[in-house]
Amino acid sequence: MNCYVLLQFLLGLAQLCSCHTVMTNSKRHEMNQPLPSNLRTKRSWVWSHFHVEEEVTKAEQHVGRLRSNLDEGDASLVYLLSGDGAGSIFTINNRTGDIFAIKKLDREEKAYYKLRAQVINVYTGKPVEPESEFVIKVLDINDNKPQFLDGPYETSIPEMSPEGTSVIQVTATDNDDPSQGNNARLIYTVLQGQPYFSVEPTTGILRISSQMDREAKDQYLVVVQATDMLGYTQGLSGTTTVTINLSDVNDNRPIFQLGLYHMNVSESAPIGTSIGIIMAEDSDIGENAKMNYSIEDGSDVFDIITNNETQEGIVILKKKLDYELQRQYSVRAKVTNSFIDKYFPKDENSGQTTVIKIRVEDADEPPVFSHMEYSMEIAEETPTGSYVGTVFAKDPDVTNSPVRYSIDDCTLFSIDDSGAITVIEPLDREIAEWHNITITATEKDNSQQVSEARVYVQVLNVNDHAPEFFQYYETYVCEKANAGEVRD
């Protein structure tokens, strides 16, 4: 509609012109009339590519000029503009064909505009050129800084990784036009993190520059910067952070807290008794810190078991002790890593050792019989007070407390403090051939310390009985029987 209104307005102006102008224009109009096909000249638009800079704030920015090769500059032709932004963003001088941008443009919002051009003869109101489409391209300026859209980053790498190991790749984006100059050509640098990390300038791949020990520091914060314009001073830049956690490798051996441990154990302790704890420390963590304890000298008296929860070594008793025989032991314990990997020093795989001094404590033990069972003999009918045999018990402790003896629930035998057993009354083998008695030995200084032994007394037979018939026999003989005759 606006194009037709403008056309009518222009036609009205043409009618008000002077006669000379009208005649001149008429002649020119006649000259602009379509020629016979065999005489028609080639008509065409004449223009170059149109560009406009973004972010320009002045009122009008000249974009370029539309021109028809039929335009002789006599004001007989007018130029019309339609399409993207016509009238609101772009305007045209209808007489000259000059196009202007009247608003500030942003290439990142819209990179180009498609418009259509038309040239009209003001006298006939008809186009003298076919309507043509053209593009106004918005030229990029470096008005966007690089951004790390995926940051901040976090990753993990094994400690002691060699120099040059790839850690992570960071990527920045720049909304400027990558096809125009260096506005979107980025260079990466490390602002924080040297000397342990470096970055490849063009790829953003972060690499290790120096080996790191997790036990010294387990986390690093690296700041990476991306700068456009190939890193020149006029370039814009953006930064991101990379948190790098060092994962553990088994590069430390366990070390005992003490070079010498002292422990005590009672001689009365039962087998399996826990005597004490030894502990080694490993600077590694997790599986790499697990360890095993053992007795290096192969002792048959003590052993060490590993508590997998606390990583402690528990010293236990595996054989009964006797204070009177040995009062102190010295054993060597060893600790080794459960898991060995390539980072572990080869000369340290054998483990570390420590010495354990174990002192045996004396215990008040009950008397000990020379035999747990005794066997004795005595003839039957031996008079009262006759000697049967002797038992012997001794206090095994250093104090060597005296021992008294007693016989439990027996009325046939007695025992004195020397352990001699006698009969209280004569024994009859025909009544009991064996007598089983229990002898109790008690320390005189501590009546709680008691032990027992069994005594088996066999009563020996003596010829103290005349033969006896088992029944009364009665017989008969005939009065006239012959001598030597046996009668049924």
Q: State the CATH number of the domain containing residue 19.
A: 2.60.40.60
Mean pLDDT lowest for which of 174-178, 190-194, 471-475? 471-475
Mean pLDDT for 359-367 is 90
Q: Higher-confidence residue: 18 or 102? A: 102
**Last residue of some domain: 361, 390, 423?**
361
335 burial via Cβ count (<10 Å: 0-12, 13-18, 19+): buried
pLDDT at 29: 39
Range of the domain at 281: 255-361
pLDDT at 413: 94
The verdict on 64 and 120 lying in the same domain is yes
Q: Is residue 386 part of a domain?
A: yes
The verdict on 220 and 291 lying in the same domain is no
Q: Higher-confidence residue: 447 or 241? A: 241
Q: Is residue 396 part of a domain?
A: yes
Q: Are 66 and 47 in contact (CB under 8 A)?
A: yes
pLDDT category at 488 given cuts 50, 70, 90 is low
Q: Is residue 80 part of a domain?
A: yes
Tens-digit pLDDT profile for residues 99-112 = 999 999 988 889 89
441 burial via Cβ count (<10 Å: 0-12, 13-18, 19+): buried
The verdict on 216 and 292 lying in the same domain is no
Q: Are 364 and 447 in contact (CB under 8 A)?
A: no
pLDDT at 347: 55
Structural tokens at position 218: 């387990």
The verdict on 304 and 233 lying in the same domain is no
292 burial via Cβ count (<10 Å: 0-12, 13-18, 19+): middle
Q: Which of 164, 184, 178 is nearest to 226 (CA)?
A: 184
Q: Is residue 38 part of a domain?
A: no
pLDDT at 20: 33
The verdict on 177 and 233 lying in the same domain is yes
Q: Is residue 421 part of a domain?
A: yes
The verdict on 10 and 129 lying in the same domain is yes
Which amino acid would we find at residue 408?
Answer: D
The verdict on 232 and 274 lying in the same domain is no
The C-alpha R_g of the chain, in whole angstroms, comes to 61
The verdict on 178 and 134 lying in the same domain is no
Query: For the chain, what is the domain count?
Result: 4
pLDDT at 483: 78
Q: Is residue 144 part of a domain?
A: no
* Greatest distance between any 2 Cα atoms in the chain: 217
CA dihedral 368, 401, 272, 351 (to 10 degrees): -120
Tens-digit pLDDT profile for residues 440-486 = 999 998 888 999 999 999 999 887 666 777 777 777 777 777 777 77
Q: Is residue 148 part of a domain?
A: no
The verdict on 198 and 237 lying in the same domain is yes
Q: Is residue 146 part of a domain?
A: no
Mean pLDDT lowest for which of 18-32, 51-65, 448-462? 18-32
Which amino acid would we find at residue 3?
Answer: C
Contacts of residue 48, defined as CB under 8 A and 6 or more positions apart, other chains included, come to: 64
The verdict on 205 and 130 lying in the same domain is no
**Last residue of some domain: 231, 247, 263?**
247
pLDDT at 195: 94
pLDDT category at 345 given cuts 50, 70, 90 is low
The verdict on 243 and 283 lying in the same domain is no
239-259 residues labelled b (16+ CB within 10 A) or e (exposed): bbbbebebebbbbbbbebeee
Tens-digit pLDDT profile for residues 254-295 = 999 899 999 999 998 999 999 999 999 999 888 889 999 999
**Last residue of some domain: 229, 247, 265?**
247
pLDDT at 307: 94
381-391 residues labelled b (16+ CB within 10 A) or e (exposed): ebeeeeebbeb
Please give the backbone phi and psi of residue 484, each rounded to the nearest 5 degrees, phi first.
Answer: 85, 0
The verdict on 93 and 125 lying in the same domain is yes
Mean pLDDT for 151-170 is 95
Q: Which of 462, 461, 464, 459 is nearest to 378 (CA)?
A: 459
